[in-house]
Amino acid sequence: MKYTPEKEERKIKDAAARPVSTGQGQSAFDCRMCGHCCEGRGGIVVDDADLARLCAHLALDAAEFERRWAERRGGKLQLRSLERGGCVFFVPGEGCSVHEAKPDICRAWPYFRGNLIDSESFALAKDFCPGISPVQEHADFVREGIAYLQKQGLTGHMGKDRANALRIKDLLPDPEK
Ligand code: SF4
Ligand code: SF4
């Protein structure tokens, strides 16, 4: 079947509208606090809203925050990674040291755009993240994910510095567009 953005959007909306049908009523996602998603290198985008929240949390101004904890990559501010890999704010055995103020992209995982629109990305995410139920179907994940992102207020801010993984406005029910 030929891919078109319209078909993909329709598919997502149909999936989002369907009731949960698998997993014996389990949620599609339940974080196991393994820290795996904090162990990568780079990619944690800090947009304007994140920056303001993190600066307030750490009592730093933006310039000082950037100097200590972030770097510019591809035109976007991102958290630094440690030499051994992993986010600069990840503390082994304890987790995220800025949990209350962490970037939206961290709050949104695993409901990234790629995982919502592409079942193969979703399958890879299931392999990567033990918090995603292995018995869940993509449609249920989409439905729960969109509801979660809306409830958490992660669908509104769409500035140019926003992480691409959070750009899902076209997938939302019409009243939110
Ligand atoms: S990889 Fe998944 S289960 Fe592990 S901490 Fe990240 S979100 Fe939670
Ligand atoms: S900010 Fe916190 S949740 Fe986000 S990657 Fe870093 S340690 Fe993990």
- The whole-number average pLDDT for the span 27-44 is 88
First to last CA, the chain: 28
CA 162 to ligand 1 center in whole angstroms: 22
Instruction: Taking the CA atoms of 34, 38, 40 and 45 in sequence, report the sign of the dihedral they define.
Output: positive
- Out of 39, 79, 94, give the residue to mutate to test ligand 2, the one with the largest number of ligand atoms within 8 Å of its CB: 79
What pLDDT does 165 receive? 93
CA 31 to ligand 2 center in whole angstroms: 13
This model's pTM is above 0.85: no
| pLDDT, tens only, 71-96 | 998 889 999 999 888 999 999 889 99
- Out of 34, 99, 109, give the residue to mutate to test ligand 1, the one with the largest number of ligand atoms within 8 Å of its CB: 34
d(CA 157, CA 68): 25
Beta bridge partners of 90: 96
Indicate if ligand 1 lies below 6 Å from the C-beta of 37.
Answer: yes
CA 3 to ligand 1 center in whole angstroms: 31
Q: Over 90: is that where the pLDDT of 62 sits?
A: yes
The ligand minimizing its distance to the Cα of 90 is 2
**Can you tell me which atom of ligand 1 is nearest the CA of 38?**
6
Indicate if ligand 2 lies below 6 Å from the C-beta of 38.
Answer: yes
Considering only CA atoms, give the Rg of the chain.
17
Contacts of residue 149, Cβ cutoff 8 Å, sequence gap at least 6: 108, 111, 155, 168
- Which pair of structure tokens corresponds to residue 128? 């990567």
- Which pair of structure tokens corresponds to residue 93? 């055995």
